[in-house]
Amino acid sequence: MVDLSVDLCGIRLDNPVIPASGCFGYGYEFAELYDINVLGTFSFKGTTRELRFGNPTPRIAETPAGMLNAVGLQNPGVDKVIAEELPKLKKVFHKPVMANVSGFSIEDYVYTCERLDKEAQVGWLEVNISCPNVHGGGMSFGTDPAQAAAVTKAVKEKTTKPVIVKLSPNVTDIVSIAKAVEAAGADGVSLINTLMGMRFDLRTKKPILANGTGGLSGPAVFPVALRMVWQVANAVKIPVVGMGGVTTAENVLEMLAAGATAVEVGAANLTDPFACKKIIEDLPGAMRKYGWQA
C-alpha cells in the first residue's frame, strides 16, 4: 500500500489532491457521485462577507486547451454558508475542509475569516487575494506586496487556523508577493489563480464575456503554473499548494517535483466530475512508473 499522505500546515492529508475553489461547490453535489472522503481535502467555493450574485452572463467562454470564466465570486455570503452549506457538507465530508475567502477591503477579509475560523469543520483559511473577475477588490490586493502583506497580517491577528494566501499570476514578480505574505505571517501560499484573457465574437465584434475579460484555466496554463510554483517554492520556507491546469497524476507529480506540498485541481472537475478520484487512484502507479518512493 503506497502512503500518499502529506502534512499541510500541521494538518495531515491522506493524499495531496485537493479540488480547487470554485470548481467543487460546497462538496455535497459531488458526494452524490462518489465518496469525497477519498480526497485529501477540498477548497470550497469562494466566500465573501455579503451575498454576491456574480457578474452578468455570459460569463463562461471556451478556449483551446482551457476555458475563460468571469463568474465574479457568486456565493450566498458567509452567514448563509455557515448556517446552511457547512451543515450539509458535514453529512458527507468527515475531514477538515479548506475555506476560500475573498473580500473588497481588509475589513471584509478579516470579518469573513474570523467567522469561518470559529467553525470546527474548517481546517485552513485560503485567503484569495487574486480573483481577476471582480472590480475594486480581490486581485487588487494580490498585485502589490504591501497590500498583500497588509491583508495577511490583519487576518492572522484575528484567526487561529492556518492561513494560506492564494496568489495571482497576473504580476511581474510573483516571488516578491509570496515573500511579502510570508513575512506578514502566512502559514502557506497557493498558486496560481487564473491568467487574465478574453475572446471575441466575430459576428458582433464584441467580447464573448459580458465582463469583457475573464480568467483562463485548464491545461493551457499548466507550464506557467509549474514555473511559478517552482520559483516560489525555492524562495519561501512555508508550504506551497500548487495548481493551474492539473489534469493527471503525472501533473501532480510535476507539481510536487517543483516544490509543492499539495496540489489543487480546478477546471478538470468541470469537464469530468470524477477527475480528482481518478488522479488519486492513478497516483501510486505513476509513482512506481517514475521510481518515486512513497
Q: What is the pLDDT along the chain (294 residues), one digit of tens a residue?
A: 789 999 999 999 999 999 999 999 999 999 999 999 999 999 999 999 999 998 999 999 999 999 999 998 899 999 999 999 999 999 999 999 999 999 988 999 999 999 999 999 999 999 999 755 444 444 567 888 999 999 999 999 999 999 999 999 999 999 999 999 999 999 999 999 999 999 999 999 999 999 999 999 999 999 999 999 999 999 999 999 999 999 999 999 999 999 999 999 999 999 999 999 999 999 999 999 999 976
Distance CA(104)–CA(108), nearest Å, equals: 6
Q: Domain for residue 87, yes or no?
A: yes
179-220: pLDDT as tens digits = 999 999 999 999 999 999 999 999 999 999 999 999 999 999
Provide the domain limits for residue 21. 6-289
C-alpha cell at 76: 450566498
User: With b meaning 16 or more CB within 10 Å and e meaning fewer, what string describes 202-220?
Assistant: eeeeebbbebeebbbbbbb
Is 131 annotated in the active site? yes
Distance CA(270)–CA(204), nearest Å, equals: 28
> What is the per-residue pLDDT for 72?
87
Q: Domain for residue 229, yes or no?
A: yes
CATH number at residue 90: 3.20.20.70
Q: Domain for residue 1, yes or no?
A: no
Q: Domain for residue 33, yes or no?
A: yes
Q: Domain for residue 277, yes or no?
A: yes
What does DSSP say about strands 262-265 and 17-19: parallel, antiparallel, or unpaired? parallel
Q: Domain for residue 107, yes or no?
A: yes
Q: How many domains does the chain have?
A: 1
> What is the per-residue pLDDT for 139?
54
Q: Domain for residue 47, yes or no?
A: yes
Query: Annotated catalytic residue: which of 9, 23, 113, 131?
Result: 131
Q: Domain for residue 294, yes or no?
A: no
Q: Which of 283, 277, 220, 282 is nearest to 246 (CA)?
A: 220
